[in-house]
Structure 1
Amino acid sequence: MATSPLDYLDLNFRSDLGLVTARWTRPVTSSELRTGYQSILHYAADCADCRYWLIDSRRRLEVDASDVHWLTNVFYPTLHRHMHGVVFLAFLAAPYQLHCVQNDSVPSLPRNQGENCSLSQFTDEGAAVHWLLAQGARPIAEQVA
């Protein structure tokens, strides 16, 4: 099931792995980023409350401090309530993006948001998927068995 009404975000449910993939297709404004994350949340809820998300940010380019603040203080705290449990987010980034995130001008994303979510950053998609599977993501066939 792949869909998204947004031209800057591709959403796909990987039933073979039990995870949602969200791929930013171009750089986005803060408003688009926030709309995009709300779309990911609604999409994941429609996919049997899938709490394992691979977020491909390689085409998004820059990280803005106000966006990190919004994610950390507004969006992440709502995840547990909406998704009925901890959400696991694997962020796929280009190596240069990880360098930008480690810059002191942008606050770093906390790795664990308590009962709301757990996050990790990767430059390799295979490693990101492996991490999500290690957190408990599993194919739909295994979930209903």
Structure 2
Amino acid sequence: MQLLTTRDPSSFTLAYLPDQHVIIGRWMRPVLLGELQIHYQELLAAAIAHGNCRHWLLDVRRRRINDADAVRWFGEEFGPQLPQLLGQPVVVAYFAMVGQDVASTDPALWENIRQGSMQGAQYCYFDQESTAMAWLAQQP
């Protein structure tokens, strides 16, 4: 595992697994939208620097994951540029506590948002990192 430099490692860290061609981003605390945008830009720069790595494991256990502004920004602004910049859509495994910060009182709602795609990215949420990594390994 190769640790990568970030502006503020107390809020966000990056690592690259060359043998699996996976970038790992970990949020260390809750962040505001502006910080999140910087972190995703750092993640994208790392992906480009490592051969257009498009398999990402994102550890979101310590940050909000249902922030409407963040979801809108990723879906409308950030995500759509990824296929052009990386050559293909990104595959993202989110490592989160199941039901973390989502309206999970309705299991059908949770299942509906647990896995899907948006412009520029395919994603799935997992409650175990090993399962997330296994899923990433199976993605083209």
Give the AA of the match of 2:17: R
Tell me the residue number matched to 2:110.
none
C-alpha displacement at 1:18, in angstroms?
Answer: 1.4
Pick one of 67, 83, 86 that aligns with 1:83. 86
Structure 2 CA distance, aligned partners of 1:90 and 1:5?
23
Tell me the residue number matched to 1:44.
47
Tell me the residue number matched to 2:109.
none
Pick one of 109, 119, 124 that aligns with 2:128. 124
Task: Name the SS for the 1:95 alignment partner.
Answer: coil
- The structure 1 segments of at least 4 consecutive aligned residues displaced by more than 4 Å after TM superposition are 101-104
Cα pair 1:68 1:109 within 8 Å, conserved = no
Cα pair 2:89 2:122 within 8 Å, conserved = yes
Equivalent pairs: percent with the same residue?
Answer: 30
Pick one of 22, 25, 46 that aligns with 1:22. 25
C-alpha displacement at 1:11, in angstroms?
Answer: 0.4
- 1:1-145, aligned counterparts within 5 Å? 1-3=2-4, 4-7=6-9, 8-61=11-64, 63-97=66-100, 100=102, 102=104, 108=113, 111-113=116-118, 116-136=120-140
Give the AA of the match of 2:85: H
C-alpha displacement at 1:101, in angstroms?
Answer: 5.3
Name the Cα RMSD after superposition. Answer: 2.0
Report Cα offsets for 1:26-60 as digits up to 9, x if no partner.
11011101111111011111011101000000011
C-alpha displacement at 1:5, in angstroms?
Answer: 2.2
Task: Name the SS for the 2:102 alignment partner.
Answer: helix
Give the AA of the match of 2:29: R
Report Cα offsets for 1:96-133 as digits up to 9, x if no partner.
41x615579xxx5871235x221111111111001100
C-alpha displacement at 1:77, in angstroms?
Answer: 0.4
TM-score for both structures, normalised by structure 2: 0.84
C-alpha displacement at 1:15, in angstroms?
Answer: 1.0
Name the one with the larger strand percent.
2
Structure 1 CA distance, aligned partners of 2:103 and 2:82?
22
Structure 1's unaligned 5+ residue stretches are: 137-145
Aligned residues: 131
Which protein has greater RCO, CA pairs closer than 8 Å, 6+ apart? 1
